[in-house]
A and B are shown apart, each in its own frame.
Chain A
Amino acid sequence: SQQGEEDPQALSIQEGENATMNCSYKTSINNLQWYRQNSGRGLVHLILIRSNEREKHSGRLRVTLDTSKKSSSLLITASRAADTASYFCATEGSSGYSTLTFGKGTMLLVSP
């Protein structure tokens, strides 16, 4: 079953605007990760935030994690047309071997 659920399912913005995507999950986690997938390609790891962290930055990316609400958000600042892709959150459980459970993704369209 899906662990993460992204919201919104699709997002359309103009270049230069910020894009915010949200992810909710159900069970306790070791960490939460965000991935990007360009059309017809494999997934690319963007950023990982551990369960004891609340916020993390990487370039134009900002991720927050609220374990009490079991939710995370990914903010892409100053979006570019090249950011057009699907974005997935994935959670790594806190017990057993490392496996990632993915949400269904948010499709982001950035128009010039």
Chain B
Amino acid sequence: NAGVTQTPKFQVLKTGQSMTLQCAQDMNHEYMSWYRQDPGMGLRLIHYSVGAGITDQGEVPNGYNVSRSTTEDFPLRLLSAAPSQTSVYFCASSGMGGGYGYTFGSGTRLTVV
């Protein structure tokens, strides 16, 4: 089925560990983004990309890295996990040019202990 696929669905990390959250879309969308969702905070933008080779920071980028080598994939890397990064992470994609609804993945629930 067409859409946004996120892996893993659940992950527990120890403080200081690193990991990569995977995101892939098969809709040929140029625009991709990562959000984190915390209780009572809504969704906050971490990083986004407007095409292969182009990334930019969102509202809460510290502690995260991204790259966009292909149109389909947009991985999010946690460099050195901290308990403050315990959250649910969502990847989303959209057509370019504005005015399109976003398609979201089902999320990755990350716990850092």
Interface residues of A (CB under 8 A from B): 1-2, 30-31, 33, 35, 41-45, 48, 50, 88, 90, 92, 97-105
Instruction: Determine if A48 and B56 form an interchain contact, defined as CB atoms under 8 angstroms apart.
Output: no
- Which of B41, B59, B94, B104 is close to A98, meaning CB atoms less than 8 Å apart? B94
Could you give, for residues 82-106 of chain B, a 1 whenever the CB lies within 8 Å of some chain A CB and a 0 otherwise?
0000000010101011111111111
Which of A41, A42, A102, A103 has most chain B Cβ within 10 Å?
Answer: A42
B53 interface residue per 8 A CB criterion:
no
Instruction: Quote the shortest CB–CB distance from B83 to chain A (angstroms).
Output: 22
Contacts of A44 in B (CB 8 A): 104
Interface residues of B (CB under 8 A from A): 4, 31, 33, 35, 40-45, 48, 50, 56, 58-59, 90, 92, 94, 96-107
Instruction: Determine if B43 and A99 form an interchain contact, defined as CB atoms under 8 angstroms apart.
Output: no
A98-B31, A98-B94, A98-B96 are known contacts. Are A45 and B45 too (CB-CB below 8 A)? no
Instruction: Determine if B107 and A31 form an interchain contact, defined as CB atoms under 8 angstroms apart.
Output: no
Instruction: Determine if B104 and A31 form an interchain contact, defined as CB atoms under 8 angstroms apart.
Output: no
A30-B98, A30-B99, A31-B98 are known contacts. Are A104 and B45 too (CB-CB below 8 A)? no
Instruction: Determine if A48 and B101 form an interchain contact, defined as CB atoms under 8 angstroms apart.
Output: yes
Describe A's contact surface by its main secondary structure: strand
Which of B44, B97, B99 has most chain A Cβ within 10 Å?
Answer: B99
Known interface pairs A98-B31, A99-B33; 13 further A-B residue pairs with C-beta atoms within 8 A, sorted by A's residue number: A33-B101, A33-B102, A35-B104, A41-B107, A42-B105, A42-B107, A88-B42, A97-B48, A98-B50, A99-B58, A102-B42, A103-B42, A104-B40
Contacts of B104 in A (CB 8 A): 35, 42-44
Instruction: Determine if A43 and B90 form an interchain contact, defined as CB atoms under 8 angstroms apart.
Output: yes
A30-B98, A92-B98 are known contacts. Are A45 and B103 too (CB-CB below 8 A)? yes
Contacts of A35 in B (CB 8 A): 102, 104
Instruction: Quote the shortest CB–CB distance from A82 to chain B (angstroms).
Output: 18
Complex-state Cα separation, A44 to B100, whole angstroms: 13
A1-B59, A42-B104, A88-B42 are known contacts. Are A98 and B90 too (CB-CB below 8 A)? no
Q: Give 15 CB contacts A-B under 8 Å.
A: A33-B102, A41-B107, A43-B102, A45-B103, A48-B99, A50-B99, A88-B42, A90-B102, A92-B99, A98-B97, A99-B33, A100-B33, A101-B45, A103-B42, A104-B42
